[in-house]
Amino acid sequence: MIEFKDAGFRGEFYRLLEARKSIRKYQPKPVPREAIERILAAGMHAPSGKNRQNWRFFVLTGKKRDEYLKLSQKAWLGIKDVLEKRLKPSLYRFTERFFFTLGDAPVVILCYSLNDAEERYHTSIGSVYMAVENMNLAALVEGLGCCTMGAPLEVRDEVDRFVGADRLPEYQDGALELLCGLVLGYPDHEPPKAPRQNEGRVRWLE
């Protein structure tokens, strides 16, 4: 087992965790393919149930990313009423713009789970979300912003058709499931990070 005894490394690691936040406004600047590949590789270093490595990623850039905006805008219709009740008017309007433009992020990654009858369902999807968190942190290391979105689930069937997942045998067998999306790009704002709500989140049993 590798031992990380260096206090500086440990400090940098926790600083990385604390620095991660969701970015919803990006510079109109392309992300090098090599950086995207490193972020994907970081995701695929995550643990997974029975080491199935059941994550599947569809990466949208260029024209395909632009075409996806129509689905993002449609997803807004399914979630806007809930957000209107939860958000201040200025933040609600900002969020609406994000759905219509994806904050000008040049990269969209749609994240799927390849489920299996030999593995519990929640373990399968949990494995993918662990990969997604790795990707969030890797984006930060690359100098990029990232935002994880559940909104694609509002138009799940259309997203499946858009990326061609519906034509895959594993999808037709009912095994391939969309879980979330990510956007990536160079940040164009510095939003505050929401305070962590620790109260009542942890119980110690001795």
Domains and CATH numbers, the chain: 23-185 (3.40.109.10)
In which residue ranges of the chain is pLDDT below 70? 1-5
Q: How confident is the model at residue 10, as a pLDDT? A: 87
Q: How confident is the model at residue 3, as a pLDDT? A: 67
Q: How confident is the model at residue 66, as a pLDDT? A: 97
Q: What is the mean pLDDT of the chain?
A: 95
Q: How confident is the model at residue 194, as a pLDDT? A: 87
CB 84 within 8 A of CB 92: yes
Q: How confident is the model at residue 64, as a pLDDT? A: 98
| Distance between CA atoms of residues 24 and 199, nearest Å | 28
Q: How far is CA 92 from CA 5, 82, 96, 99, in A?
A: 45, 10, 6, 11
Of the candidates 47, 184, 60, 20, which has an alpha carbon nearest to the alpha carbon of residue 129?
Answer: 47
Radius of gyration over every alpha carbon of the chain, rounded to an integer in angstroms: 18
Q: How confident is the model at residue 2, as a pLDDT? A: 62
Q: How confident is the model at residue 8, as a pLDDT? A: 83
pTM given for the model: 0.94
| Segment (H or E) for 82 | helix 62-86
Sign for the CA dihedral angle at 48, 52, 58, 59 comes to positive
- What is the distance of C-alpha 80 from the center of its chain? 20
